[in-house]
Amino acid sequence: MVLSDRTIRRLIGEGRIGVDPFDAGLMQPSSLDVRVDRYFRV
């Protein structure tokens, strides 16, 4: 599934996608870059 950055932002705002902490600087045109710590949940 490919989502636009606008759709990703909307879904995060609606709580349908969880990103914590959300850093708007990591948004790309149709993706969200993520950073992973030693501990993460999928």
Q: Give the model confidence (pLDDT) of 1-42 as tens digits.
A: 889 999 999 999 999 999 888 899 999 998 889 888 888 777
How far is Cα 12 from Cα 30, in angstroms, rounded to an integer? 14
Query: What pLDDT score does 4 carry?
Result: 92
Query: What pLDDT score does 35 carry?
Result: 82
Spacing of C-alpha 35 from chain mean position: 11
pTM over 0.75: no
In eight-state DSSP terms, residue 24 is: G
Query: What pLDDT score does 40 carry?
Result: 76
Query: What pLDDT score does 12 carry?
Result: 92
How far is Cα 42 from Cα 40, in angstroms, rounded to an integer? 7
Strands (E), 1-42: 27-28, 31-32
